[in-house]
Structure 1
Amino acid sequence: MHDITIISMIFTALLALTCLFLILSPYFKWDTYLNVSGKGQDLVSTKEALLTTLNELEFEYKMDKISHADYKNLKKQYETEVAGIMKEEELTIASRVDQDLMAEVEKEIEAQMKNYGQKKGEGK
């Protein structure tokens, strides 16, 4: 009888914790914890979304659905965000190129040092 009480308490506690987790889980952003290296892809999708929004904004302005002042303000805001993303992409690409270039230079230096060492050994 005592064993059944302990088992039922454990089962009740697990059930309560499961319910609590299911109730509270929508309030947490799990993708921020799970997304480790998706920043580059996130930038691309954000840029595409902003460019699409700019096209829709221009279409709505041409259809006289928004005022000229709103159009100018929103267009400037979205263009600034796209420019920032493009600059960040450019810096990322430049750093990759710099790293590749440095690796190539280091390989050439190693080859030259090895070649110089062999020539110096032959001269003695």
Structure 2
Amino acid sequence: MAVILSVIIVAFSLYLVVTPLLRKNNTKLSVEIKDDTDEISLQSLYATLNELEMDYNMQKLSEEDYQKLKAQYERHASELLENQKKKESKTGNDSFVKDIEVEIEEELAKLRKERGEK
């Protein structure tokens, strides 16, 4: 009885393993690879730089690896800072321009009002 049960279990296992390999209509799933380096925040970069320095001081990293990784993360941090400054200056300029446009519209409304009253 035990032999028959073990043969049935082995046969069923083989069936489960072999069936997907023998299917003719292999549908491939599309996989989207997302670059997550854009989502790295400035704080996480600073934390990584801190960890690198600790690892170097504890002699877990060689001088060459430390300098290479430090330069790479500092470059990425500087790029993030530049992008943030560009966004801030862009939004700052946009709000400045909007303030000027509002002021111009108010002055035009006053002039129209004066012309209409006279």
Instruction: Establish whether TM, by shorter chain, passes 0.5.
Output: yes
CA shift in 2, pair 1:74/1:45, >3 Å? closer
Q: Any gaps of 5 or more consecutive residues in structure 2?
A: 1-23
| TM norm structure 2 | 0.65
Q: Give the residue type in structure 1 aligned to 2:27.
A: L
TM-score where L is the length of structure 1 = 0.63
Which of these residues, 73, 79, 83, is aligned with residue 84 of structure 1?
79
The CA RMSD measured in Å over matched residues stands at: 2.6
Gaps of at least 5 residues in structure 1 are: 1-15, 33-41
Give the one of 93, 97, 100 matched to 2:95: 100
Larger radius of gyration: 2
Q: Take 1:77 and 1:30, find their aligned partners in 2: how far apart are those partners? A: 22
Amino acid at match of 2:85: E
For residue 113 of structure 1, what is the amino acid of its counterpart?
L
Q: Deviations over 1:84-117 (max 9, x none)?
A: 0110011112111211221121111001001011
Report the structure, 1 or 2, having the larger helix content: 1
1:29 aligns with 2:54: no
CA separation in 1, counterparts of 2:73 and 2:111?
Answer: 56
Deviation at 1:120, TM superposition (A): 2.5
Out of 108, 111, 115, the residue aligned to residue 113 of structure 1 is 108
Give the letter aligned to residue 83 of structure 1: S
Residues 49-85 of structure 1, C-alpha deviations (whole Å, 9 max, x = no match): 3222211101101101112232122211110110001
Specify which structure has the bigger relative contact order, considering alpha-carbon pairs within 8 angstroms and separated by 6 or more residues.
1
* Residue correspondence of structure 1 range 58-69 to structure 2 within 5 A: 58-69=53-64
Q: What is the number of equivalent residue pairs in this alignment?
A: 95
- Give % identity: 28
